[in-house]
Amino acid sequence: MPGSQSVQPSRFTRRNFLIGSGTTAAALALYSGEIARHEVDIVHRPIAITNLPAAFNGYRIVQLSDIHLDEYTEPFFLERIISKVNTLNPDLVLLTGDFVTHGSITFIAGKYAAHRCAEIIATLTAPLRFGILGNHDVAVDAPMVVEALSSRGTPVLVNRYLPIERNGDRLWLCGVDDPGQSTPDLDLALPTKPDGPVILMAHEPDYADTVMAHPRGHLVDLMLSGHSHGGQIRLPFLGPLILPPLGEKYPEGHYRFNRMQLYVNRGIGTVGLPLRLNCPPEITVITLQSA
């Protein structure tokens, strides 16, 4: 017909496919690396403890893990995390290892990173804070990391326990050396006859099986771990893509083993690649309750 225009069918070529795929991949990498990696999830988790002393009912513990300064956790991001924790007004902050990164290729060397991390952590306003070592801390230099933290007011529990007292009641806080890179010793880390609930910090969550098999394992009420980062990248129907040794069985969240409970924090930082997808960095707020 006069004046009519022919409409050409669109052509889906290999070149268009590659351009579209590349654009999508670039956008996803930008989102995972610069946006999702900095979108912090504050997880509120009530934990019921049998025979919890009345003085600790409602006791608030913030758990942080896997900071990995400076690859790829920037100092400004850790400062933001600490600021958020301070607004939560916890009674106790527990840091479950990997303050630095072994094999970091960024400009901050291991020693400087440990001291810079300790300086930022020292701005926490909670009445009490304690840490343990992770596999990266041991691989970099365990005594150096311990000294950096302890000299700035963050005691590190390496196969040790101590009481936390409140209004005449107590709970027992315990920490083992890193199960993946060092020599954890539950005989030293757990009290023989605790007169209150027992909280154990162990960096690798799959170590829970070893705790349960230990003669004193039945005394542990709550174990706190990190290490797995939740997998960092989680795809629908597939779950976490890559999990580290001793972080494969219990990758994130809350688990129960008869009396003992386990909580696995997804961590603040990343390793390998500075990417997170469907697996945001986590601040855990644990509120103890009577069972």
Per domain, the residue ranges of the chain are 14-290
pTM (2 d.p.): 0.89
Indicate the burial class of 234 (C-beta count within 10 angstroms; 0-12, 13-18, 19 or more): middle
Q: Each residue of 240-257: pLDDT tens digit?
A: 988 999 999 999 999 999
Between helix 110-121 and helix 135-150 the angle, nearest 10°, is 60
* Predicted local distance difference test score (pLDDT) of residue 27: 38
Which residues 6+ apart lie within 8 Å of 194 measured at CB?
172, 219
CB 156 within 8 A of CB 99: no
Residue 1 pLDDT level (bands cut at 50, 70, 90): very low
The contacts of residue 15 (CB under 8 Å, 6+ apart) are none
How is domain 14-290 classified at the CATH fold level? Purple Acid Phosphatase; chain A, domain 2 (3.60.21)
159 secondary structure, DSSP code: S
Question: What value does the mean pLDDT of the chain take?
Answer: 89
Q: Given this model, what pLDDT does residue 23 score? A: 38
Q: How far apart are CA 143 and CA 148, in angstroms?
A: 9
- What pLDDT band is residue 104 in, cutting at 50, 70 and 90? confident
Dihedral sign for Cα 110, 202, 42, 162, please: negative
User: Is 188 strand, coil or helix?
Assistant: helix
pLDDT at 280: 96
